Structure 1
């Protein structure tokens, strides 16, 4: 996954050019979507939080430091969502967010393979399965 949202692009560019400082989020979170949140960072297709068994999971505690040679950060820990208490639909995308609810999409991308999550199912990124890079 390597796409940056417009929000993050602006924050990083203004910071890099010395136009406005940007304070990194205290914690970041992995979110699941049933459609592409796109560069605008739309939350319309995020799995619902209301009585579904879904909650964003911490990226800060799961992700490892970026490899200086490859520029890739991999999750060192398993990241598990659910179990679902209702059908979530087909999960096709994920994003790194700057808040546990609401907030802004920072990075986003399509999953290698989508998965239909039904009642009782969990969604999981095995260790080293979530790969994040700036391209």
Structure 2
């Protein structure tokens, strides 16, 4: 038996996830079950805008830019939230990034921030 979502169901879940939890917070390690572990020194959350999900994948459609980051560190993870501060945690994942130094600009280019779900095959 095939395991995973149908493509249509995966697209619906991803569109809901993206619209419900559009605020992205950076982390320097796994965020944990509550999304609060290993927070980056840079605490500003950025709101991601998304293209509609297609083929069980959803990608950002604008750059995410943090200017003049607060500390020197390696961003390795992200968490998703319902608000720019406070709010409800909705999920997390891994990012690949170069190390940043205090006052650097960190950018995740449009189309490079992607959510995916497994589909039945």
**CA distance in structure 2 between the partners assigned to 1:106 and 1:88 by the alignment:** 27
In the alignment, what sits opposite 1:66?
53
Residue 106 of structure 2 corresponds to residue 106 of structure 1: no
Aligned partner (choices 71, 75, 81) of residue 87 of structure 1? 71
**CA distance in structure 2 between the partners assigned to 1:56 and 1:44 by the alignment:** 15
Q: What aligned pairs does 1:20-31 form with structure 2 within 5 A after superposition?
A: 25=20, 28-31=22-25
The answer to whether the Cα contact below 8 Å between 1:91 and 1:115 also exists between their aligned partners in 2 is yes
> Aligned Cα RMSD in Å?
2.2
Structure 1 stretches of 5 or more lacking a match? 1-11, 13-23
- Aligned residue pairs, count: 101
In the alignment, what sits opposite 1:9?
none
Tell me the alpha carbon deviations over residues 15-48 of structure 1, each in whole angstroms, 9 at most, x when there is no partner. Answer: xxxxxxxxx74x620111011113x123132224
TM-score, normalization by structure 1: 0.64
Q: What aligned pairs does 1:115-130 form with structure 2 within 5 A after superposition?
A: 115-130=98-113
The answer to whether the Cα contact below 8 Å between 1:92 and 1:115 also exists between their aligned partners in 2 is no
Aligned partner (choices 34, 46, 52) of residue 39 of structure 2? 46
Structure 2 stretches of 5 or more lacking a match? 1-12, 14-18
Q: Which has the higher strand share?
A: 1
Moved segments of 4+, more than 3 Å: none
TM-score, normalization by structure 2: 0.71
